[in-house]
Amino acid sequence: MLNPVRYIGENFLRWCHDIGGLVMMMGKVFINFAPWKLDKPQIWRNMYRVGVKSFPIVVVTALLTGAIMVIQSGLYIEQYGAHGLLGWGAGYSVLREVGPIMIGLMFSGRVGANNTAELGTMKVTEQVDALRALAIDPISYLVMPRVIAMIVMMFLLVIVGDFTALLGGAVTSQVLLGVDMKLFAWSIVTYIELGDFTHGLWKAVAFGYAIAIISCHFGMNTSGGAVGVGRAVNASVVGSAIAIFVLDYFITFMVL
């Protein structure tokens, strides 16, 4: 049986190592943010790979999420006859919370995990060391295009996801609840403020940055061959999910 003190100590040291590594990665990214250091063709390629290929799954997921939000709230709307508030209820929840969190978790599972696996494979096969041998900085060549692409595309995907979720909610309210789509749209335009929309966009930028830093950190510090790549991907997905909820808590608290 593993000594509990030893188990706690090992996990504490592992957490300290990861937190220190994340701080180091943020510092390296900040230093390399100068425009003349950025590889623009690599950034465009990563934006296509990260964002455009995620577009179909974001649209499908957002449509269903908006529909579910309306179905869940439809019972109470029918009970109190407050049909004019259906659009406001769905829009407020989607724009401020459900949209950014839902897309953030999906983004970390698809893009973040893939990013860690790619960088981890390059690390264990010594391709990263080969870049250093050729005097090419791996942070500038591999990490920076991914970080910028993930922040920009997370921002754009949340905008697309928000409007798609509202469309799914409007169609569901018309078809299943008999609430006119015009009344649904009127409720959103009347009661939803611009701040509700920008609130979610701030979260999108923060989530994109966190997922990028975490996935790149675990990818660039992978060791132990194929098994190590699997462990790194798992740690990246778990760390990103925790970061999303922690950031959501603090941003919600600060922007209220």
Q: How far apart are the first and last CA of the chain?
A: 48
- Residue ranges per domain, the chain? 35-255
pLDDT in tens, 193-205: 888 899 999 999 9
pTM of the model: 0.89
pLDDT in tens, 113-169: 999 999 999 999 999 999 999 988 899 889 999 999 999 999 999 999 999 999 998
Determine the Cα–Cα distance for residues 164 and 182; give it in Å rounded to an integer: 16
